[in-house]
Structure 1
Amino acid sequence: MSFLIKRTAMYGINMYYTVKTLLDKGKSLREISRILGISRKTVTKLRDKTKTDPIEIPKQNRSKKLDGFEDIILEFLKKGFTAKIIHNILQEKYSLKIGYSTLAEHISKLKPKEVYIPVNKDPGEEAQVDFGYFGKFEKDGKKVKVWVFSMILSYSRYAYYEVVTNQRTDTFIRCHINAFEYFRGVPQTVLIDNLKAAVLNANFYEPILQQNYSQFLSHYKSAPLTARVRRGQDKGKVESGIKYVKNSFLKTVQVLHSDFYKMKNKLESWNNNICNKRLHGTTRLIPEKVFCDEEKNILITLPQKRFEIYKIEHRKVKSNAHISFELNYYSVPFEYARQEITAKSNGKILKIYKDLKLLCVHQISESEGKYITKEDHKPPYKQKKSETFYKEKAEKIGQNVLLFLLKLQKEKPHHWHRLISGIFSLRKFYSNLIIDAACKRAFDYNALSYKSVKNICETGLYKVDYDANENILKAQGYNHELIKYDHLY
């Protein structure tokens, strides 16, 4: 074993290079000994060794723990598994004792390197958007998390920044509108990060965009594009813009104060007077000048009306087929009870969706604690029927049933629905002729109750003359349990 390898553990390979460098600079052995804190004898040996032997980094004979696992690792990589997941599997399933950093380094060598080629965009072709976290600021007496929204025109690098306190879809869209109006025009496409606000599933090839966001861009005659997951190069202009606003603006404003509203005003001033008027680090041009000279007039004209922004919230339908929304309860079709739905509101109208299917639309009530229910949302047996429905149904059974109904409406205006529904239910047991005859007899004796008609059918009294003071009178009075018949018709 050479002298170099023996001494590597004591001095390290850097010591040899250091001694050689100092000698090349004309330092004496005494000076080098003092600078490095080693003896002159050691310095002399190192000097002599660098003259006679080439300096080589000793190779460590480590056992190759991953031998035999390469095919397994490659298969996991094809399935999209991360190094962390592969590390867990190798430890738990194969009992392989290996450090995560060692595995990660090995995996990085197995992965093919992706080549990134800068793509220049035409004027008005594309804008890139993103959110960057700004930290916490004082807003209305409370510390709140703040993000900065950024939209940068890819050609001119003309930028718009805005601070917000959430990343909801309605906020995301409102920032877009403000940016378009700041540019006084719209780019052909908008490249978005895979934010929850914009993309449901982060799939580069078939991104499922939220309907509200797609409709918004369509309103402005623009179209969405998505950056691939973990591919910042796709969105480099904006990510550079986020870094720039943090370094150029945020670091300064954080030192001065933490008030949200003051920071917001200063950001607007910085955006107009510094950001867009500076010499851009990449293009070496001034964004505002390029925008005004070459891009401003190329942008799509703003529509006459702003897009109407809907606030989107998720709700679970209660067992009574209603959702709670802003202090009231709104119905949905009964078959969606206990399911998850999406509620969209613009403050006046409430739209309820299941996935992308529109279930219903309600006008938002200004009351509180009210149930706003559509009849056709109830199960058929609970739906309120029109007066015409009852009359037509009674007439189909017989003319006497219709006369009985008309008298019920006059004599018992608050209960006739339940009473006649009970009589309709007798068709499960008796023919229309029997029910019609029973209603005639009950009508003649003014026995205006479901129980009277039922008793006549059961006893066959519809066949014979009958004393009004006997059984029919005993059957008079409506049944307090008639609510049971609501579900029959």
Structure 2
Amino acid sequence: MRRDVANQINLLREEFGLLNKSELARRFNCDRRTVDRYISNLGNETRKPRESKSKLDQFKEIVIDKVDNYGSKSMAVFKFIQKKGYDGGYQTVNNFIKKHRKSEVKKATIRFDTSPGLQAQVDWKESIKMISKHGEVFEINIFLMVLGYSRLKFLKLTTNRTQETLFECLFEGFRYYQGVPKEILFDNMSTVVDRSNTTFKNISINKVFKYFSMDAGFEVITCRPYRPETKGKVEALAKLVDRLTPYNGEFDTFDELESIVKSFNEDINNEISQATNEIPKLRYEKEKEYLNPLPTMDVLLSYFHHEKQYKVSNESMIRYKGKKYSVPTGYIGCYLTVSQIDTELYIYFNQDLIVCHQISDKILHYKKDHAKDILLSDALRHYSDEDVELFIEQNLRNMDIFLEE
């Protein structure tokens, strides 16, 4: 744009009002249509603001470094750059840091709220006290994982927050989601972060946790600094407190309390989320195809499942979590290992699977063949096979025993 033409047109118009476009075109040696365009745009042209240099400009990189990497506060940064030669005011520094932080929070929030299958967020609701019908106080923790796009949540009741428990919760969460998000956002928890080698923004991930994430197929993201407090997560944590408190005095055992939490989990996944205004369960249908496939789960099991040995009693049973499970009589006196997956208990001798039991509320769990062998070897050793079969049908099935074929 010819500034001389625009400026002269502006001056002439102010002085004489109406302008002769042909005369102006001859005077400025340009086309009449150029003059016409300039006159038409006169008054509509927006002048670009003149860029003014700030005393802070040459110190901005230092400010961002100290704020992002070390969590320095505005006054501390102000005093520091004063020694580097900054002679501006504190308010300039403070306003710049506020604007920078706001920008970073916005970026982080946008990242969390977009892209199906991209991210999940993990946190704990710690040290919740629940009281049973009998006045027994249970101090529990609730693990929470929420998918960023659908807001589908996975909750698990735990008695501690150790790294092995975290591994187990993530393992079960992946199975619940039928896949693995590409990245998971964690708080600055000691089970994830190596705090001795960590600064405010330069986070060092715990080695064991890093290996777990690689085997599971997700990237570890830590949310310091500029932690986005997304609505879905905050909403779920608030509901945990509000909606579990009425169950005080309403349950008998830890298992019953665990069932209450599982039921609550399903409830919130079938209610409209305040963050998306959609039902997480339905929105998840759009997200699940974008999740990474489930890894080889046996590999992940090794991070938290340390095999405890259980001695087989003279009854040819092992005791697991207060209940008894039968094994073949040939293993009496041997030490066996177990693995619980959902409601099934797998019992091994060395690496060989001996039997799989269905877990129930019953105290005694028998396989029919095991019960027959046990009775023949002891109480009914003088009976025929047919008599033992009849005894099992008439007696064991009527007792408080879980009997499987």
TM-score, with length taken from structure 2:
0.47
TM-score, with length taken from structure 1:
0.39
Select the structure with the greater relative contact order (CA < 8 A; seq sep ≥ 6).
Answer: 2
Which is higher, the Rg of structure 1 or of structure 2? 1
